[in-house]
Structure 1
Amino acid sequence: MDVQLSVAEENNLLADSPHPPPLEALPPAEPLPPAESSSMEPEADIHPVEPTPSSAEPSQPGAGKCPSLPPENACVWPGCTIRRVVNMRVHVMGKHAPSCLKPLGRSTRRQARRHLRILEQLAVACMGEGTTLQALMIRVNRERAQTRGTPHSSQGSMPKVYDAHFHMDRLRQGLGVSFMANLGDLERAEPPRGDVRPVSVAGGIAVYCDPQTYPTTREINFITRDLHLNVAVGVHPKQSLTSDQFDRLHSLSRMSEVKVLGEIGLDHSRPPSDWYRQEGLFRRVLNRCYSHHQHRVVCLHLRGMAGDPTAEECYSRALDILRLSRIPREQRLLLHNYTSTVSIADAYRRHFPATYFSFSLAASGFNSQQRQACRHIEAMDDRRLLIESDGPHFAPAGQRVGAPHLLWATAAVVGEVLGRDPRRVLDLTWKNGRDLF
């Protein structure tokens, strides 16, 4: 039900709505029939369920009232669930329970059963005529989360962030959460502390570069469709690939959901005897796995020798390999955790104008050349500036790991280099990340 009201009318409707009763105080719902074992029907097949006079139940306590904003410590109703209940105009669950299972879309039966209790109580709390439903729809439109899986504490007026590079598999292992954990689970396992302010994660690139933990097809679908993140698949230059592992990388890189190839590149912090192997692997991945029509972004990992923080030699060698591999000039490159100089930044922009530069907490230790390069990139074109957590690495002070929801610390460090407020850095890099794809 689409409702178009003025701001004054919206405020009047919401002002008349009392606080909702506690969930446990609502009248118990009638027992539900067991859900059928068949797969859920797609959401597009669902049609509004119009209650008939014979199916209407007697009014329950609290009927005719629309819930207003809940306290922060109260159970929060999922916005998507509220919208579907209102659209179907389900006044009482009862015999309409099967139709309430269908709109959950891709959710599994287990997830559907977990939401049933909320659906029952919400249906009872929202009984009423058009005005009540209008007020509820206004609340949904104002309150729904930007990213599925983000807890209520990360919504509202908090700045949106885009994490250009983090390792989902390593984060889950480091925090001891499920391999299907979402961003909300990561935040609950490691909440912001100290000077790290909470943010709302609105996008990012989940990187898989360890052959032992390459994602399954199910995990890639979960990250791209449910968490609304982009997936990058590559191989860290320190890693070696067996024939089977390379075949696995090749098949994953050809999935339509994988729009980022990487991280790949060179790491000269290893002994020089390993550099030849790294270059061979770099070339092989570019020649076998890269697709200009599929991979919107190629993510590069480039590190210099010990005592060479700007790694100009390593960045220059990687640029030569990219050109010799005939990577198209218009290809978007993402220089992850950029630490080099102005001359290197200009060289990449000259040969690949769509190059993006991502900065991490490593910027807190930048020397004068690196700080100058960061300011030069912003002055040259601030639309090419991104930030990253590189989680679980680069943990902010007081935190066990780095993670997307802790990006405030990175924005504060990069903002200090650029002379910008952290919130402005977050706003700029969120917009740049959104434009990356």
Structure 2
Amino acid sequence: MVVSWLKGRPGTLDELLEFVKMHTLLKEHEVTPRQSEIMTHFCQYLGRPVPDKFQILPPNSVAVFLHLRVLHLISASLQVERCTFWKNFFTGPIFQKPQSDQEEDTASMEGIHQNECKEVELPMAVDCHFHPDRLSEITSIPWEENITKHLYAGPVEPNHRHCSLHPHHARKSRRLLDEAVERLQRLLRSEHVTAFGEIGIDHSDPESEWAYQSELLQRLTPLVKREHVLVIHIRGMKNDCGTEAYLLLLHHLKKRISRMQRIHLHCCTGYPYVLERWLEQFPETWFGFTSMVKNFDRYKRDSLNLVKEYRHLLETDAPYFRLEG
């Protein structure tokens, strides 16, 4: 069942093993003697050969699916509704630690306090796309007083902090693009990098620059790894619904990007037809929406309703969409 969900068709355990082998997030973990014993019985049950030693990286037997780390990786690769199915269908036991009288009184008081606070609690939200560097510039707030102080608190070299390859920059000189790609490649060697982008197509730029955008896109897509979230930027021509730009980018990506690539489609403004085609090709796509929704026509509002709620990403795209007043 899991293989069928991941592959989009009936699959086998061997195909699931190949999927796990391809996943670069998997790390080596010790297989204890007790785990090895259980895996041996599992192989014997399935009529599979038993290796001299079970290993996680690379996985050398379907029996390693019994290892918690591998199960965690597989479950993280499933869509949310699939994970919900497993949690609801196979409910686990609830273990409750015995409480002393004093602990029980404290827990009761905490419960009362939480109930009192519920009326003033605000919903939790995450700004999924904003630009701290440009926000700092436009507000004239020094970097050291800005949120970037925290974003760059780790051991990051200054020339690694920013590497802009937005479609708007595709017309830069070959030398500047070469330098930017070189910085990007250095950044991608770090295991702390979790997202790649934003890259894509922007046809609000002059038509003379479109070919350069396609050329830059072809240069960047081979650098995308499966463990990254690919952040996509798409804009159509001025006063256009953007369908042409969306379908052109989809045509580019489907030849170069894994079908199961996790994608954040930033500032989505596409029509329902576009979103349906996009999800057919890339089912692991999440859609970002900005304050532009207040100007959506009925077709774009239909797209907003088409996207499942858990796939909505809220974005300020700061500093570009300011609050009125």
Q: In 2, Cα distance between the equivalents of 1:312 and 1:7?
A: 60
1:282 counterpart = 2:222: no
Q: Which residue of 2 aligns with 1:244?
A: 179
Q: In 1, Cα distance between the equivalents of 2:156 and 2:214?
A: 30
Q: Which residue of 1 aligns with 2:225?
A: 291
2:238 partner letter? A
**Pair 1:174–1:358, CA change in 2 (3 A):** same
Q: Could you state the TM-score of these two structures normalised by the residue count of structure 1?
A: 0.44
1:162 counterpart = 2:126: yes
Give the CA deviation at 1:164: 1.3
Match of 1:304 among 236, 239, 245: 236
SS of match in other structure, 1:164: coil
Q: In 1, Cα distance between the equivalents of 2:202 and 2:153?
A: 27
Q: In 2, Cα distance between the equivalents of 1:168 and 1:181?
A: 11
Deviating beyond 4 angstroms after TM superposition, the runs of 4 or more aligned structure 1 residues are 10-13, 182-186, 231-234
1:395 counterpart = 2:325: no
Q: Is the 8 A contact 1:236 1:263 kept in 2?
A: yes
Match of 1:362 among 288, 292, 297: 292
Return 5+ residue gaps in structure 2 as ranges.
1-98, 115-119
SS of match in other structure, 2:254: helix
1:9 counterpart = 2:109: no
1:317 counterpart = 2:240: no
Q: In 2, Cα distance between the equivalents of 1:337 and 1:366?
A: 12
Give the CA deviation at 1:233: 6.1
Give the CA deviation at 1:216: 9.7
Q: Is the 8 A contact 1:267 1:303 kept in 2?
A: yes
Give the CA deviation at 1:280: 0.6
1:254-265 → structure 2 map (5 Å cutoff): 254-265=189-200
Q: Is the 8 A contact 1:233 1:258 kept in 2?
A: no
**Pair 1:216–1:272, CA change in 2 (3 A):** farther
Give the CA deviation at 1:159: 2.1
Q: In 2, Cα distance between the equivalents of 1:234 and 1:291?
A: 18
Q: In 1, Cα distance between the equivalents of 2:270 and 2:136?
A: 30
Q: Is the 8 A contact 1:333 1:356 kept in 2?
A: yes
1:344 counterpart = 2:271: no
Q: In 2, Cα distance between the equivalents of 1:363 and 1:12?
A: 43
1:314 partner letter? A
Give the CA deviation at 1:244: 1.7
Q: Is the 8 A contact 1:263 1:301 kept in 2?
A: yes
Q: Which residue of 2 aligns with 1:175?
A: 139
Q: Which residue of 1 aligns with 2:309?
A: 382
Q: In 1, Cα distance between the equivalents of 2:183 and 2:204?
A: 27
Q: Deviations over 1:270-309 (max 9, x none)?
A: 111100000110110112x2122x31x100000000110x
Q: Is the 8 A contact 1:332 1:355 kept in 2?
A: yes
Give the CA deviation at 1:7: 5.9
Q: In 1, Cα distance between the equivalents of 2:315 and 2:216?
A: 25
Q: Is the 8 A contact 1:334 1:355 kept in 2?
A: yes
Instruction: Give me the CA root mean square deviation.
Output: 3.3
Q: Deviations over 1:129-182 (max 9, x none)?
A: xxxxxxxxxx9xx9xxxxxxxxxxxxx823211111111111122222232445
SS of match in other structure, 2:205: coil
Give the CA deviation at 1:236: 1.0
Q: Is the 8 A contact 2:204 2:235 kept in 1?
A: yes
Q: Which residue of 2 aligns with 1:36?
A: none
Q: Deviations over 1:224-249 (max 9, x none)?
A: xxxxxxx9965210013432222112
Q: In 1, Cα distance between the equivalents of 2:274 and 2:189?
A: 31
**Pair 1:6–1:216, CA change in 2 (3 A):** closer
SS of match in other structure, 1:166: coil
**Pair 1:217–1:324, CA change in 2 (3 A):** farther
SS of match in other structure, 2:232: strand
Aligned residues: 213
Q: Which has the larger radius of gyration?
A: 1
1:281 partner letter? L
Q: Is the 8 A contact 1:300 1:333 kept in 2?
A: yes
**Pair 1:12–1:216, CA change in 2 (3 A):** closer
